[in-house]
Amino acid sequence: MIPKKNMAEIYEASLSVFSDYGFKKTTLNDIAERLNMTGGNFYRYFKSKKDLYEQTVSYALLQWQAYSIDSIPREADIRTQFTMMSFKAVEYLSINDAFRRLLIRDPDIFPIFPANDPYEKINNDSMELVKSMLKKGVDTKEFRNIDPELTTQLLWLIYKTFIIRIYVQNHGKEMQDIWKVFVDLITNGLFAEKTNQDPDV
């Protein structure tokens, strides 16, 4: 069995090559050359090039997930935690260029409306994290009494749309500014607080 450290090296090399050439044009020999290995060695650990590709994407998605989770300040209130996670989850692809380029080549890694999601468990775990934060906010009365399940689905759909627009369709700065407005809208609302002087509607 390959040690974990070596597996990470394989995944990093695979991510780099797949992002350079795409799945179809990449060969196992291309990846092996980056690692000073022989292509035949891969078949001891991966069923096929597709198996290596899917494991590599899973590795990259888990790195993205970990980055978002690690960004959450443990001692902060739930509002701060939710806001920080929202920005860090979008920020990640700006610092992982290889995965960003791979996502451009293969947007189905992060589909808006997935008919068949090969990374469903990882994405579901990310959604569960969002839902748990919403539940905590409701329980502590820092969030309104919303439906955590439905709200999570809505937020996840909007989040994926922004990721595709920012990094795949290359609307970077403009969409990042809109994301800031969106997070502000979600966390602070649209309506101003009503004062005693406000007329009844």
Model confidence at 88, pLDDT cuts 50, 70, 90, reads: very high
What pLDDT score was predicted for residue 69? 95
Please state, for a pLDDT cut of 90, what percent of the chain lies above it. 64
**Every domain of the chain and the residues it spans:** 4-188
Judge contact between 31 and 52, C-beta under 8 A.
yes
Segment 143-188, tens digit of pLDDT: 999 999 999 999 999 999 999 888 888 766 788 889 999 999 999 9
Q: Which class would CATH give 4-188?
A: mainly alpha
Segment 15-63, tens digit of pLDDT: 999 999 999 999 999 999 999 887 777 778 888 999 999 999 999 999 9
